[in-house]
Chains A and B, each alone.
Chain A
Amino acid sequence: MLAFLPMSCGPRQDIGCQAHIKENEKIIHTSNEKAGTITTAEPTIEQETRSEEDLDVPWQVVVHNDPVNLMSYVTMVFQRVFGYPREKAERHMLEVHQKGRSILWSGMRERAELYVQQLHGYLLLATLEKTC
């Protein structure tokens, strides 16, 4: 039989999201010019305070250690899901194995969610985390 090297679980962390506030201000000025009356409106000043989520602060796709999944299997999954070359996939796999977790990708939330879903489809322990 072939020998199998294990992976085991690691910690997870996340940060909550903030409120979303929008403010619109309109100031209207009126003045007389000769016989007529001209009314001008100052440009709309829009102030926005967006949450981290709206600004899309990068999200991280984190894979956690697992004692059952084979190292060769995890490497193959990283190659398939992220399109990483074998060397890079192996580097991440070893980081998961040795440090308990590895950040595989960071970027827009929607895509990160898709990656986590794919990783779960391969039965890896993967989570989505906000970048601090």
Chain B
Amino acid sequence: MEIRRRNDHIEISELDPFLAELLRQIPASGNPDGVPAAEQRLFSPPSNGKQTELCAEWRIYVEPELRRLFQTATETVAADLQQLNGNEKSFANRTLRIPAKHTDAWLSALNQARLVIAAKNNFTENELNDHFRSPIGSRRDLSLFQVNFYGFLQEFILRELES
């Protein structure tokens, strides 16, 4: 896989089918699926339990706004990912172009996915820091790889935004 900045977009080329599939899973991965830990991480309270009135108002007025914000970002990313659903042979490497104006949506969707996967798997800080972990041997390992791969993309996008 190669990733580089072009004029008005970020280009991810030489995407093998495995990485292309991981990218395709970004929108679905950010869905908490009713898992309380994931839901709570995406919609964390604005205060500890003592400010009950504030927390109640937050749920009514702010959470729907946040849901819309996250949903919009996910939809933008899902639309960009349509590029990976071409008619080429299924094992051919693909190229994905992310328009510069979509980078914020990508940062959000990647973050949603990383947080939800980490919450669902209850990853420890040590696991998240273990970049020398042996490659995928279980579903949990795959999820950890997914978190790291999405983090790599986030890091690249952030660098491009800075420059």
Contacts and interface: CB of A to CB of B under 8 A. Distances in A.
Nearest to A124: B44
B155 A72 contact: yes
A96 interface: no
A4 B155 contact: yes
Given A67-B128, A68-B128, A127-B46, A76 B115 contact: no
Given A3-B131, A68-B118, A14 B46 contact: no
A12 B43 CA distance: 16
A117 B58 CA distance: 9
Given A70-B154, A73-B158, A16 B115 contact: no
Contacts of A72: 155, 158-159
A4 B158 contact: no
- State the main secondary structure of chain A at its contact with B: loop
Given A6-B129, A70-B158, A123-B42, A128 B54 contact: yes
A1 B131 contact: yes
Given A6-B125, A73-B107, A128 B147 contact: no
Contact of A120 (B44, B123, B125, B128): B44
A6 B42 contact: no
Interface string B30-48: 0000000000001111111
B161 interface: yes
A15 interface: yes
Given A4-B151, A6-B128, A68-B128, A125 B44 contact: yes
Interface string B130-163: 0100000000000000011101101110110110
Contact of A13 (B48, B65, B128, B131): B48
A113 B46 contact: yes
B111 A73 contact: yes
A12 B158 contact: no
Interface in A50-106: 67-70, 72-73, 76
A36 B81 CA distance: 91
Interface of B: 42-48, 50-51, 54, 62, 65-66, 69, 107-108, 111-112, 114-115, 118, 123-125, 128-129, 131, 147-149, 151-152, 154-156, 158-159, 161-162
Interface of A: 1-6, 8, 12-16, 67-70, 72-73, 76, 113, 116-117, 120-123, 125-129
Given A12-B48, A69-B111, A117-B46, 14 more contacts: A1-B131, A4-B129, A4-B148, A8-B125, A14-B47, A16-B50, A70-B158, A76-B158, A120-B44, A121-B66, A122-B111, A123-B115, A127-B46, A127-B47
